[in-house]
Amino acid sequence: MNIVLVGFMGTGKTCISKELTKLCEMRYISTDEMIEQKEGRSINDIFKEKDERYFRDVERSVVKEVSNLDGVVIDAGGGVMIDEENVKVLKSNGIIFCLQSDPSVILERMKDEKNRPLLNVDDKLAKIKELLSKRASYYERADHFIDTTDFNVERITKQIIGIFKS
């Protein structure tokens, strides 16, 4: 069984995933890192040179690959839940935790990020709110929801582990 972390960018998926791998003695896998390795270029470059549709196709194949593994913490990209097949595959061997934060907190966490193609806009807060609104129904497919606004890593990881082991 796997622990799968999903949620919008800036909600703490990577940090929490890495902490979970230490505490649970599980392997860490990032779908975004796997995509970059397979493509030999950054996600930003994939969006520039191809498009979001191409990226989502590659993402879908990576999600299928990692879902066949067992005993891993999967740090899933921010848009993984958009695809119903991704959700089905992830749930087949994992528990999906959706990390959520206040939009203004997400903006603060993402302010220095340059490799976020969906935030290459003038009004980043408006874009974050728009994307969160568009994705809300997709994120509802998760098994559990964890608020990371205050970003207490110890509390968040203990909460996830408690649910996972129950």
Kindly report, residue by residue over 56-108, the tens digit of the pLDDT.
999 999 999 999 999 999 999 878 999 999 999 999 999 999 999 999 999 99
User: Could you write out the DSSP letters of every residue in 63-97?
Assistant: HHHHHTSSSEEEE--TTGGGSHHHHHHHHTTEEEE
Distance, CA of 134 to CA of 9 (rounded, Å): 14
Residue with tokens 């999906």: 96
Contacts of 31 (CB under 8 A, 6+ apart): 59, 62, 63, 66, 74, 75, 76, 77, 80
Amino acid at 28: Y
Kindly report, residue by residue over 16-33, the tens digit of the pLDDT.
999 999 999 999 999 999
| 8 A C-beta contact, residue 76 and residue 6 | yes
Tokens of residue 78, six digits: 């921010």
Could you give the number of structural domains in the chain? 1
* CATH classification at residue 133: 3.40.50.300
pLDDT top residue among 97 and 9: 97
What residues make up the domain containing 43?
Answer: 2-165
Mean pLDDT of the 39-46 span:
92
